[in-house]
Structures are given as structure tokens and as C-alpha cells.
Structure 1
């Protein structure tokens, strides 16, 4: 008696970053629970490998590649209208029980595509636009974009029948906006692939002062803060190395790294999930410099699942408790970040204790199956007995 779920991905899919990864893993976990999940997405993805569920694209031809995070004219004027049309077509052709739309572009395209069809709509809120949009606008228009984002945070989520958020922070902020009640918003935190990262747990790093950063180098990640902190730490400990396993170009940071005198201590690697556990195993310290993050950074959970000691800015620490399962430093505090790096580099016992506690936390709290079960409860609450009725009718028709 599984549900038929239309999962809307207004992003490249699949892709190894927060939103598309959540969609992929959640879809897999819901499929394992016995539900029929079909993903509706852009014509772009980082891989054309087959999945355990159908993927519908806005174009018959898939482009292997990616799209940078944030709003772009091509997404807003081409990809999103095409996605809305595709959603409308599929909802007309198939008896879906629920539409689960991720991030605000997914919500808007799903709401538009659904039209007057009586299919419950779930909005999966990964962040707050009031804090995210300014990071894409530069200094001149960041304040205007922040105001626009805050307005959208108030008025867009109520378009859905229920909202799922990745952190309690987002849930509380949406409820405090006054347009949603507490029972209309549910927290379903991300999971992590413990089995993938298990081979990294407990392995000795190649050096006690080898630091690693993974993922995108977009401006909102605070990578410039990391470079400045690393330069201060390396001035004290010249053997320190920084591994950057990035999914975007390092070019914008070349000048800063050279001016700080640390370019020769930075090892650039291509972001490749297949070898990520081994790269994490070789490092002693993993870092999260991002200062503004309403959601849960997937890289943070990956670090913890690999059994790494983490240094994080307060804004992205989320499940890190300072001195218990990682080190948390004040936002934008270069000196404190550098001091935390040096502290971990010089204290193997502290690194091991924090790493073990980090792993224990995600092993206990962060399974994708748990995320799927929470979403399943939301679906059941929205659909009532309609899914059972649909399944019975289809069985009768087949007979």
C-alpha cells in the first residue's frame, strides 16, 4: 500500500552537494520503505548512472555537468518554466499521492505545475532565503536581496500543505514568521552514508597537521576566512598542509593564497566522492569555515561519519558541541579559527576523543532511513486513506 511520490528537484540531479544529495538519498530510502518515488528534474546531472527510481527530465537529452548554486537567468527563465510544465504533465498522466518539492525553486515550480489538481504539496526547506540570497548578490545589492529573501521566507512556504525542514533552526524561524503553525512544520534532518565512510574511521592521518576542506568554493562558504586562519596557523607551525578537494575552480582564491604566502602548502584535488573517505582518512583535521548556514551542511556529516576532528565556525556547527564532538569558533574570528587548528594539530588525544564522539553522534542520529520515516508520517497525515484506496482500485482494475 505504498504511496506514489513525485519528488521535485529544481537542481542538477544527481549531484554531490546538499540539495540533490538529499533528494537522491531520501528517494532511495523511501523506495526501500515500499513507496513509488519518481524524481522530476532539470536536464542536467553530474552522472547518467541508473537509479533505483524513475527520473523524468525536462528534455529528452541529458547534459552531463552541473549548475552553480543560486538563482541564474537560465534557471529562472528556462529551466524552471520547463520543469513546471513537466510536473503538470506528469500529474495529469499519473495518480500521484503527494508532491515533495525541494528548495524554493522546487516549491514554486511544483505549485505552478500542480495548478488546481488535488495533490498535497510538501515543501522541503533546506535554508532561509533571507540569509542565502545576499551571498549571491555582492556588496552593492546584498541588502536588497536580503530584504527580498526575508519577504519570500514569509510568503512562499504557506503555498505548501506541509513544510519539512532540515534543522530545528529553520522550523523555528518559519513558525516565528507567523504564517505557519507548529503542526504545519516538521524537522527531518539529513542522514549520512555510514557504510561509505566506515573505511576512514580509526585510520591514522599522514600527518597531525594535515587539514582538509571539501565541496564547493562558492562565496558563502567562507573559504577566504579559512585561508587567512590557515596562514596564521602555518606561521606558527610551518609543516601544516591544507587539502582542498573542491567541486569548483580555485582560481578566484589564487591571488589571496599567494599574498598570504601559503599557496605552496595547499594541495588541490578534484572533488570525487568515490575517494573522499580515503582523503578524509589521510587528514587529521576537517574544517567548516562557513559562518551563515540555516540548514545542515552535508560535508559536516561526512566529516563526522569519517571520524574526523572538526573545526567549525559557529554559524555552520549545527550538531557540533564545542569541546565535546568538535571545536566551535566565533563567526568571522580568524585568530580563534587559527588557534583551534593549532590546538588540534598539537594534541592527538584531543583529536581522537572529538573524532570518536563525532562518529558516535551521526551513527546514533543521522540515518537516511530515519529521515524517510519522518517524511512518510507527513505523507500519511496529508493523504489519509487515499493511498490505500488508489492501490485497491489499481489492483481491481488489473484483475
Structure 2
């Protein structure tokens, strides 16, 4: 363990919140604090309650007319919430004197670099805007959005002293476009609290339930999931699809009805602590995201739960085909349907894949391991600033 540091962790998002970015911030803050450091999470006014966290949470003042918790940029976030976050960070730095800022995602990095001068900044790159930004409905020409995203990917990371990338894909992309020198980018994937999940999992459940847990943003591939499930349901009429989310299903109601599966889709607004028990009641997990530069947090949760997973290739992360899950070509809903049907009907295969996935999650993706590696990056950034 190194000497204790005073760390500001920037969360330009609802915090805590049961989706990928807030979960990564939460667990890193928790694990780093338990290594003896003084961690201050600086975040929006939105978030769930925390029971005795080992870190301090500082929020901007409440904005009564802004209650959006879904991912993606908005004018109010960029022009109101983020400037408020920068002012809060500046004031806290004056009072506390942070040794380092750990800024998550692009907005966190922009906030940190505008608020502080001379304090080392570690940028946590969860994704590439080149792949994510065009998926949002921004009301702008798609070509223009791609151009802006490409520019941001190239130039904004240069504001950081060190970069943490959640995957080798992100590291390669940032170094290729000249956003950073290769030796300044460190790959540290997400972790997962595998011990939170029951040992006996949903492959012993009575009914054939396919589960998806996550937000319903456009990049998640919910339309592809529904199309694949419709094919499964036609062959296995007793099959059901459970969607665990806090997002409205309204954008997909018409599609589900047109496909004839709306009555077989169950919506569950469970909190994050409730999710392990819900995952345990499912038979198979599905990851329908077509492109993901990092590793989807839901995928690690599925693995920790010992669930057999069917996933599209580009978002499969550490899953090995026929070893810890089934990978199918991106966007091929027929292949996804075949994989889901196979896992629902071949219980021996499902158990073998699920057990192997849980073992991999336990061995390779603990948050304690993540925190130790993050701490090493902190030390490198601080040493260079002296």
C-alpha cells in the first residue's frame, strides 16, 4: 500500500446508479478507499442512497427540473450540470487540496481540466465517442456527429496526465489517433462482485426465461434482441423474456407487438442490490449489443451469476465461444435465436458454460485487483507531476 492520497473522483452522471459507468465509478471508489485513500466522489444531484460508503459524496445543488438518469449527452447537462460540477470541484480542491483527480468519461475529464490547474488528472476511458455518440438521437446529421466524435476522441484525452482504458480496443484506438503515447495508457477492465451472486443459478429454474439487465439506450441492441427472441418464442412458446431496467419500454412497444411477443416480455424495475436474485431465476442471459469498445458491465454480472450467455461478437469481451458462452455474428438475429434456443434446451451445456464463466469472473475480475492497478497508475501520474 502506498501513502494515503486525497483523490477527487469525477462522476458526471447519476451516482450511484445501476448501469455501467456509475457502477464502475462506485466500485473503484469503494475499493480504492478501502486501500486507505481518502476518496471524494464529485457528482450530479441525482443518485440512489448509499449505506455508510467508505468515501465521501459531494453533489451539485438540486436542479428540480432535471431528473433524467438515462445515458447520453443533453444540452442541459453540458451547459448547466457540468459547469456546476466544475465549480464544485474547484471549491472542494481549495478546501481539501486533492493530490489527484480521477475523471471518468469525457465529461468528467472536461470538468476536471477546466476546474483545476497543476493537479494530476487520470482519465478513465469507458468507451469511444466515435462508436457511442452516433447511436444517440441528437437531431443532428449523423456525419456531423461522427466528425465531432472523432475530434473528441483525438484531442480531449490529451488533457490527462495518464489514461486508464477499460479494454485493449480503446487503448489501441486512442494511441492510433495520437490522443496519447502508448506508454501512458493502461488497460484496466471492469471488475464484478462475484460473491454477491448465489452459487446455484437459473439453469435450474422451472421455466425457460431469457434475461437482459441494463438500460434501453439505442446502442444496447434491444430491437435485435426482440427480433431474436421472437424466433425463439415461435419454436418454444413457453419461453419468456425478462428485461430488468429503469428505462421506459415505450420506444419498443410497437416492435414487440408487431413481432407477437409483447405478452411474453416481462419488465422489472429492480434495484441493483435485487438483481442477483433476479438473475438467479433466469435460465439464459442475452447480450444483444452489436458494438462495445469496452466490456459491458452486464456481461460480467451474467458471468458472476453463473448464467450461460449468448452474445454478439463485438461485445463479447472475455467470453470464449463454446467455453464460457456462445458468440454469434454481429446483428445476425437468426444465429442469436439459435444460440438462445440451444442454451434453453441443452441444460448440460448451459451448466457447463455458466460454471466456467463464473469461475473466470472470480479469477480475473475482482474489484480489489482493479483498485491495486488503478493505485499504480495514480503513483505514476503523481511522480511525473513532481
TM range (shorter): over 0.9
Question: What TM-score, normalized by structure 1, do the two folds share?
Answer: 0.92
2:78 equivalent in structure 1: 76
CA distance in 2 between partners of 1:62 and 1:166 (Å): 34
Kindly report which structure 2 residues correspond to 1:186-225, keeping only aligned pairs within 5 A, or say none: 186-201=186-201, 204-207=204-207, 209-225=208-224
Question: How much has 1:386 moved relative to structure 2?
Answer: 8.9
**Structure 1: runs of 5+ lacking an equivalent:** 388-399
**Higher gyration radius (CA):** 1
2:339 equivalent in structure 1: 340
1:95-141: per-residue Cα shift (whole Å, max 9, x none)? Answer: 21110000000000000001x3x210010000000001001136862
Change (3 A) 1:175 1:310: same
Change (3 A) 1:62 1:377: farther
Kindly report which structure 2 residues correspond to 1:134-173, keeping only aligned pairs within 5 A, or say none: 134-137=134-137, 141-173=141-173
CA distance in 2 between partners of 1:138 and 1:179 (Å): 25
1:128 equivalent in structure 2: 128
Question: How much has 1:221 moved relative to structure 2?
Answer: 0.5
Give the count of matched residue pairs.
384
* Residues 244 and 266 in structure 1, CA contact (< 8 A), matched pair in contact too: yes
Kindly report which structure 2 residues correspond to 1:22-41, keeping only aligned pairs within 5 A, or say none: 22-41=24-43
Question: How much has 1:179 moved relative to structure 2?
Answer: 3.3
1:391 equivalent in structure 2: none
* Residues 43 and 62 in structure 1, CA contact (< 8 A), matched pair in contact too: no
Question: How much has 1:360 moved relative to structure 2?
Answer: 1.0
Q: Secondary structure at the match of 2:327?
A: strand
* Residues 128 and 170 in structure 2, CA contact (< 8 A), matched pair in contact too: yes
* Residues 99 and 121 in structure 1, CA contact (< 8 A), matched pair in contact too: yes
CA distance in 1 between partners of 2:303 and 2:201 (Å): 9
1:51-95: per-residue Cα shift (whole Å, max 9, x none)? Answer: 221111111789996522111011011000011111111122222
CA distance in 1 between partners of 2:94 and 2:276 (Å): 43
2:270 equivalent in structure 1: 271
Q: Secondary structure at the match of 1:358?
A: helix
* Residues 120 and 161 in structure 2, CA contact (< 8 A), matched pair in contact too: yes
Please tell me the root mean square deviation across aligned C-alpha atoms, in Å.
2.0
Question: How much has 1:143 moved relative to structure 2?
Answer: 2.6
Question: What TM-score, normalized by structure 2, do the two folds share?
Answer: 0.95
1:175-209: per-residue Cα shift (whole Å, max 9, x none)? Answer: 111231111000111111112113554761222x2
Question: How much has 1:48 moved relative to structure 2?
Answer: 5.5
Q: Which deviates further from its counterpart, 196-205 or 303-312?
A: 196-205
* Residues 28 and 371 in structure 2, CA contact (< 8 A), matched pair in contact too: yes
1:322 equivalent in structure 2: 321
* Residues 12 and 45 in structure 1, CA contact (< 8 A), matched pair in contact too: yes
Is residue 2:179 matched to residue 1:183? no
Q: Secondary structure at the match of 2:79?
A: helix
Q: Which deviates further from its counterpart, 121-130 or 14-23?
A: 14-23
* Residues 199 and 278 in structure 1, CA contact (< 8 A), matched pair in contact too: no
* Residues 20 and 297 in structure 2, CA contact (< 8 A), matched pair in contact too: yes
Change (3 A) 1:338 1:139: farther
* Residues 203 and 351 in structure 2, CA contact (< 8 A), matched pair in contact too: no
Question: How much has 1:38 moved relative to structure 2?
Answer: 0.6
